Amino acid sequence: MIHDILRTREHRTYPLPLGPWVMRQSWHNLLFAHWPISPAALRILVPQALQLDTCEGQAWLGIVPFVMRNVRPRGLPSAPWLSHFPELNVRTYVSMRDGGVEKPGVYFFNLDAANPVAVALARRFFLLPYFNARMATWETRRDWVEYRSHRTHEGAPPASFRATYRPTGRVYLSRPGSLEHWLTERYALYTVDAKGRPYIGEIHHIQWPLQPADAEIRAASLAGASAALRLPDTPPLLHFARRIDMVAWALRRVRG
């Protein structure tokens, strides 16, 4: 399966990273919930070393709940106590030139996960703002997904999320140039170290098998840097993905 994923690359706008991938994951029952946000409001919250990305002059904030499965380093088997857990991230979009190539990516304001070991490893080795949380998710009748998250990380600001969501249409592939393509087809995450230096973590998967979605979001309290934001009163743009398998490369410094 990994060989099939690596061979499917025509949807990418730049080549796969050099060197071997180091981790694989599967993401299940994923909801993209996106709101338009003023670029000025986001710019002050994103590290100065990173370039905020916009689509037709508009910046976007995303809240993305899903379930991680089969999380494992290359060459090792998955372990149920470590490899399967819910995750929730709050994100926006940035783009950087790395080795002379423009690489659109994701910047995470915070990520909550129901696995203390995974949280500790991600904070140390990927420089990402992961937090421990008490989480639960389950499927109900007619394809509805129930999702609950309550942050429990010691010393961290409180955050919670409660939602019910489901797909409402057929699977489709987003068209290059469309907003959903701009929001979802990103193959890098960006972060900074304690000195503000930018780092990139590259990933690869097939093109997102998206579906239109409905959602009832009953609680979505932002925290950390994103707590300075207010979600618009307008309904979010929603997309659903049942499953995608991915591989990831090691975090490294951005090559200017």
CATH code for the domain in which residue 224 is found: 2.40.400
- Average pLDDT estimate for 59-65: 96
Structural domain boundaries enclosing 113: 2-253
Rounded-to-integer distance, Cα 104 and Cα 93, Å: 8
Rounded-to-integer distance, Cα 64 and Cα 175, Å: 21
R_g of the chain, CA atoms, integer Å = 17
pLDDT of residue 223: 60
- Does residue 77 register a pLDDT over 80? no
pLDDT of residue 225: 62
Better-scored residue on pLDDT, 235 or 141: 235
- Does residue 53 register a pLDDT over 90? yes
- Does residue 3 register a pLDDT over 80? yes
pLDDT, tens digit (0-9, with 9 covering 90-100), for 84-114: 999 999 999 999 999 999 999 999 999 999 9
The answer to whether 47 and 192 have CB atoms below 8 angstroms apart is yes
Report the candidate in 237, 184, 181, 241 with the shortest Cα–Cα distance to residue 211: 241
Count of domains observed in the chain: 1
